[in-house]
Structure 1
Amino acid sequence: MARRSPLINVMVSAVMKASRSLRRDFGEVEQLQVSRKGPADFVSMADKRAEDTLFEELQRVRPDFGFLMEERGEVKGKRDDVRFIIDPLDGTTNFLHGLPHFAMTVAVEERGEITAGVIYAPLTDELFWAEKGQGAYLNDSRLRVSGRKRMDEALLSTGIPFKGREGHDEFKAELAEFMPSVAGIRRFGAATLDLAYVAAGRYDGFWESNLQPWDIAAGILMVKEAGGYVTDLNGGTDMLKTGDIIAANDQLHMPMQRVIKRARRGLK
């Protein structure tokens, strides 16, 4: 059985507590009070409750840590070199439409590097977790990225920019380049789970642009610890700053990057 560190146990405990209300609220999704703060960007009371629980639980046991959260934004801690990065509900649109594909996530960033991460899908009870140098796990089973080597065998995942967001032309060009050369492309609407599924070998690769740090922080570590490669679209390592990401195994990462570069060159 995989041994979790005290820090991972703290994160898992907070996620499990917050997930109780999230499950309950999903069961009553039609009665949720929803506020709209931007185009295609809905924030439910369920989202807010879950974030409050995560913040309170994690601050209680790690009072020196800072926080970066989807709703509250940045909260400074006594230490300026370590913080939790939190998304209480990734897949909000799915949640509000009654689609059972969403997750909550907590990551730890120390001196600019992600060192621990948890992604939890409450409805399937799948707990993905990873710690730097210790591997990635689904519950207690070790994860490895897929071993596929050919693009025509690869199943990829991505995200489609929605109304009010930039990148529609770029995405259409990328999709046109990818479709003839891969086995399939999926868009399920939760980047945290897309990355967890790459780590688990369910997807062979994932790419998306204009994401937020809380969408990808835990997943970046998860894929790396499962033996995969993660960069931004240009091959750099500033994914949390750029919001652009490619994640795959060592055989498919470079071919995916070439396809994206080719697609974007065609727009110039």
Structure 2
Amino acid sequence: MFDYNSFTNAVIQANKKLYEYINIHMTQSDLEEASSIGYGGDKSLNIDLIAENIFIKYLSSFGDIISEEIGIISNKSNIKIIIDPLDGSHNFLSGLPYYGTSVAIRKENEYLAGYVCNLCTAKMIYRDNKSIKTIDILNKKEEKNLEIKNPKISIFERAYAYTDITKILKDNFIKYRSPGASALSLAYARNYKFVLFMGNLREFDIAAALHINKDLYVYKDKKILIMAKNYNDFVQIKEILKLF
């Protein structure tokens, strides 16, 4: 049986180590582009690789690592650990305080757990084999998950690439934001009317959030992912996008 407690503690320690590195030890060279292109197709920063190495150190004993930067590390276990070691790298590079990390566990075709950490607040939201929890990675204290009963905004990640859709949302008087860290936005989907994510749906971006929010209404095809906690909001955005 998979040891959820030990794995959760390892994820917390990895995030804490990365948080401390960013806030205490980071140098100017960490913000420069690395010489290689990441497995996910984007140019990597040196800090991406540092973050990845931290997660590999803490998590590789639990299964095979699949990372946005380096790709697949071994293929010997039926447990796959999917990590985005720095979600929102461009935000990070620009000093925009909205970036974090994402970790998911997959056994064959089933996700067992998902963890998304906001490195700006040091808060991690996760679901293992039980309910959703939020924890402060610095002191390991669990925090309340307050319900947003009547959210006022939606999230549209990668809105900049879909101006036709932004016009449709405007015409339907839908207020939204596009903060630029997909895993973070999707993980907190229950705080918004809906989260819309369009483009290349990479497992690194969506795996943890899909497990965390498995109780929400979800639509997913090859290039669109929608999450909403309210059925009427879910139906509205699907109708607007003509997804019926």
TM-score, normalised relative to structure 1:
0.75
User: How far 1:256 sits from its partner (Å)?
Assistant: 1.3
Task: Measure, in 2, the Cα distance between the counterparts of 1:190 and 1:256.
Answer: 21
Task: Measure, in 1, the Cα distance between the counterparts of 2:59 and 2:82.
Answer: 11
Give yes or no for the alignment of 1:206 onto 2:206. no
Task: Measure, in 2, the Cα distance between the counterparts of 1:204 and 1:32.
Answer: 35
Deviation sequence 1:219-255 (CA, Å, 0-9, x none): 111222xx4222215xxxxxxxx35310111422122
Q: Which residue of structure 2 aligns with residue 239 of structure 1?
A: none
- The amino acid that maps onto 1:221 is H
User: How far 1:16 sits from its partner (Å)?
Assistant: 2.0
Deviation sequence 1:179-229 (CA, Å, 0-9, x none): 233441101100111112213x2x2211112231111111111222xx422
Change beyond 3 A, Cα 1:41–1:145: farther
Kept in 2: contact 1:145–1:248 (CA 8 A): no
Q: Which residue of structure 1 aligns with residue 220 of structure 2?
A: 232
> What is the percentage of aligned positions where both structures have the same residue?
23
In the alignment of these two chains, the number of paired residues is 230
Q: Which runs of 5+ in 1 are unaligned?
A: 163-167, 234-241
Kept in 2: contact 1:21–1:46 (CA 8 A): no
Q: Which residue of structure 1 aligns with residue 124 of structure 2?
A: 127
Give yes or no for the alignment of 1:247 onto 2:227. yes
User: How far 1:75 sits from its partner (Å)?
Assistant: 2.0
Task: Measure, in 1, the Cα distance between the counterparts of 2:203 and 2:180.
Answer: 16
Change beyond 3 A, Cα 1:31–1:85: closer
Question: Which deviates further from its counterpart, 135-144 or 204-213?
Answer: 135-144
SS of 1:138's equivalent in the other structure is strand
Give yes or no for the alignment of 1:174 onto 2:165. yes
Kept in 1: contact 2:159–2:166 (CA 8 A): no
User: How far 1:28 sits from its partner (Å)?
Assistant: 4.6
Change beyond 3 A, Cα 1:17–1:5: same
Q: 1:69 aligns with which of 67, 73, 86?
A: 67
Kept in 2: contact 1:100–1:123 (CA 8 A): yes
Task: Measure, in 1, the Cα distance between the counterparts of 2:107 and 2:206.
Answer: 15
Give yes or no for the alignment of 1:256 onto 2:244. no
SS of 2:165's equivalent in the other structure is helix
Higher relative contact order (CA 8 A, sep 6+): 1
Kept in 2: contact 1:174–1:259 (CA 8 A): no
SS of 1:5's equivalent in the other structure is helix
Task: Measure, in 2, the Cα distance between the counterparts of 1:198 and 1:124.
Answer: 17
Deviation sequence 1:14-47 (CA, Å, 0-9, x none): 222233223346x655873223749x94421111
Kept in 2: contact 1:154–1:204 (CA 8 A): yes
Q: Which residue of structure 2 aligns with residue 51 of structure 1?
A: 52
- The amino acid that maps onto 1:219 is A
TM-score, normalised relative to structure 2:
0.82
Q: 1:116 aligns with which of 96, 113, 118?
A: 113
User: How far 1:120 sits from its partner (Å)?
Assistant: 1.0
Deviation sequence 1:40-73 (CA, Å, 0-9, x none): 944211110110110121113x2xx112111111
Q: 2:177 aligns with which of 171, 186, 191?
A: 186
Query: C-alpha root-mean-square deviation of aligned residues, in Å?
Result: 2.7
Task: Measure, in 1, the Cα distance between the counterparts of 2:6 and 2:65.
Answer: 19
Kept in 2: contact 1:21–1:49 (CA 8 A): no
